[in-house]
Structure 1
Amino acid sequence: MHPQISAPQAGACPLCGMDLVERGAMGGGGDAVRLGPDAAALAGVVTAPAVCRAVEFELPLFGRVELDASTVRSITVTVPGRIERLFVDSVGMEVNVDDHLYELYSPGLLSAQAELLSTAERFTRAAAGEAGFILENSERAYTSSRTKLRLWGLSEEQVDEIERSGEASDRVEFRSQFAGTVVEHGAYVGDYVHSAGELMRLADLSHLWVVLEAYERDLPFLRYGQAIEFEVDALPGQVFTGTISLIEPTVDRVSRTAAVRVHVLDPERVLKPGMYVRSRALVALDREGHARGPDLTGKWISPMHPEIVADGPGQCSVCGMDLVPAQELGLVGGGEGTPLVVPTSAVLTTGRRALVYVHEQDGDASLYRPREVRLGPQAGDSYVILEGLVEGEQVAVQGAFRLDSEMQIAGGHGLLSLPSESIDREPSRVDRGMDGPMDPARVVDPGHGSPLRHAELWTDYLRASAALAADDGEGARAAFEALATDARAAQAPDDLEAAQLGVIAGASARAAGASAIADQRAVFDEVSEAALSLIELAGNRGAATLRVAFCPMAFDNRGARWIQGPDGPLANPYFGASMLRCGVIEREVTRP
């Protein structure tokens, strides 16, 4: 039970009182488990080679539908006046080019029309008299009067009609120069409007953006042109597709996310701006475990509208700019080669450390040696191995837990009994989900007056955890709403704590908006990691002792941590009733 305890002779374990067993008596050596053919078959140990092959995985992202800003057009007033009639008076109306929009009373327009009639009459007389200098000046004045009315928004036909009728009107009808759907409206009959005042906005709703929020740890797996699939609650079962057209170059200091823009064509107009989106980025990996972008070699792209891609030189269909080679924008694919992978069942992990059991043949017997590996991302039912294995090595893909138990019983170094040189090893970048070990100089003294002293945040976090463990989606939603409010209200003393509070607030809000408990559990993992980072920064400022728990089987054996209260049995929020007690309590964090 406690393989770290050893003695030169038989005796009892000082921790639990059990009899000590002879090292190797259960089939293990100091650094390997030795099994004969029959024993291996009884233990159910199956091996498979580590192989290099193409792998893909899905990266979940959340976001919302937004207007394509390049299609938005403002309808503005070009001359001061009073609105007498509104022909387009509400959001949602469809507008075509040359549709009438509004009728305006304007003394300035009345004067401009009178000026046009006067200059037209002088120009006509001068042309009949063939007076050279007078004709030239009259023509210039006449042209200027027509141009003024055109710049004020009247059409060529309207200006011609004023000349034909010979009368100036104090009420003029204005027509649309654009087509689209009214998405904003702020004018009413009787309003007095000033020059450049905005009356309404139009947009083309068949071209939309889906703006996703990607955490900084996910950014290495996203590339321009990458395929995205997404769903909305309003249309269950219907899957939409788009491609990434822009990854914003900055990360929000509070939420720690960068906006990822996906260009979507929606000719049937079933998507509505503001809809909540659950999406999956399809990620293909190269030999280093990095995302492989689409092959854009030889393609030409618009610098201003990167969703415009062509096979050769030309002009952007949106803005008319010359297209440039994809190489000039640094958008040509990703790395090369295929990654080294093993099945997920071959990897044992504590969240901080991962190992596999490597098979070696020793005569008729088999040796299984534990070897620590550095994991890349999980791709479906496989893990990418960045360090620790070479292609062709055989690893145990079934029975690894039995081998690890045998190793620990025999006093060897298994998953939970680290060699002395590994006890203080910092978790890798992949383990921690951040860009390296935390700098001790950045840890904030928990006694400095952190606003985390209030217990509401931890109380609502524990409510959310308990609700998920009880498979209570509605209870979890209410707890997440409260938790998001708590995190927004907290006043952090520095940017480090503010960043984690921002993650908790944003992720909790998304969890509150999720309709399925599986989505809530996926986001709860993000909330928990941010909460644990908060404890590392400021200590436990809750009302009681907190316990850090870990489940190695969550999320297809990737593993996940969470925080529990001081009392009661372990309650797994990631599985609920199906595996309520799966996991272990790693440590306790007491209130200082």
Structure 2
Amino acid sequence: MNMNKNILYIAIAIVIGLLAGWLIFGDSGTDTASNKDLSDLTENHDHDGETASQMWTCSMHPQIMQPEPGDCPICGMDLIPAESSAEGLAMNEIKMTDNAVALANIQTTIVGTGKTSSSDGVISLSGKIATNEENNTIQASYFDGRIERLNVNYEGQQVSRGQLLATIYSPSLIAAQQELLTAASLKDSQPALYNAVRNKLRNWKVSESQINAIESSGKVRENFPVYATVSGTVVEVMAREGDYVKQGQPILKVSNLGNVWAEFDAYESSIAQFKKGQNITITTNAYPNKEFDATISFIDPILNTATRTVTVRATLNNKENLFKPGMFVTGKVKGTTPTVSNESVTVPASAVLWTGERSLVYVKTNPNEPVFEIREVTLSNRNGDTYIVVSGLRNGEEIVTNGTFTVDAAAQLQGKKSMMNQGKEDEAMMPMAQMEMSLPIAFQQGFKKALPSYYKMKDAFVSSDAVKVSAFAKATSQQLKSLSTSSLGAMEQSHFKKSIEMLEAIVTNDLLENQRAHFVILNENMVALAKNIASVDSAIYVQKCPMADNNKGALWLSTEKNIRNPYYGEQMMTCGSVIETIQ
């Protein structure tokens, strides 16, 4: 009986073992299939949308890679999503992810014809009030001598006809008076000699009453007065007390400001839109609620090759003395011919990247994917907030109108053609700032006095304020022009003249991009001069942005060691470094 129990226990154990084996291994096929499905789900999952796998980089410093958005630790620019290389794209094309497009707020627009433009052919011009050269008069000395007293000695002073301007000591006039007294005693016997002496004094603008007073008193005047021949406002003092002046040398420039000129810069592409007698509406910051009507009185026949502009001038009545020379004004002119034809393509100004030589836009080539192609276009007039495209775009094409710079930065990051990269090897910047020069002490002192205005102009570039840039560039130019350069050598003269030329180009241009292009060349010359100053009152830092001037690098001077980039402003405020200190 015990044996039977043992057999029963063994049988039960075998059954239980078989059942457990079936439960464990018999369902393995199902588990395997389930695990395979889970693996496939994981492998096929799209990680593009996961921010955990997205890396962020700087468009100007691609070596920066961070797992989350933020600021570039080198230049301070906003980081952008790092893109993987796209296959099957042309050299001019780049591809971005939908996530990157959304984060950068990139917007596109299908370009249309000029019929949709709301500018109505009105061209906006920027300019300044200037004195009417036709009303300018030079008050000169009519004889040689030394200015003993200058009664009118500052700009803006009002003078009236017959007013005493200056008192001059003139040895030649003293001799002529003595001749008059001698000839007066012989006028009965030698009337021709007597009349010749009197005519000589008349030619020196000595009045009949003054001649008669000398003759009747029998005394010679040592200091002779000079009187104003016209009434007006002093716009320039051209001599100082104690100066020795030659016959005909200017003392003052006087202008009648009863009417003034409004001078505007018109770009080469829009010259055909202007003609004499055309109506122009003028506004100014000083009187923002007033509009002044005038007509175009002059169009300069010579093009300014530095700025590619011509001067368009209108004459304004200024009897109420509202307009001050130097005041900024804006003029609006309706073009003489339709500025937009049915075949013309107009694009928003925000879509255009302008390098100084090329105008670029980004075209979306694939309607279903964010693929963009860089395209060079030729522009005509700017009407309000739109440009007319002469060539490079067709009606119906889709272009980037917001976030253009971000797309360009992504193209540069991917090594594609971009605004900064034309596919050509950049030439090295000329080492002009490394040249040694010999500057006279007097020139060095005068040059240092011009630096404060230069620093203000640099700060205006940092703030991206084109109006202030122009104003401080003019002040710097005027101070440099007052320096004596007769003792400078040929190389020093070349740097000095080029600095003046670039400052004038900045003054006459109201586009910040153009001003910054001239600022690059200005600094190549200004830094070269500054580095040859024997001593300075406080340290001057020579700073450099390696990204400026199409990645060639550009210099500037600063009194602050901290970098405040004048070539990019807020876009790359801290991009750059101090490369030298002038003690």
State TM-score, norm by structure 1: 0.47
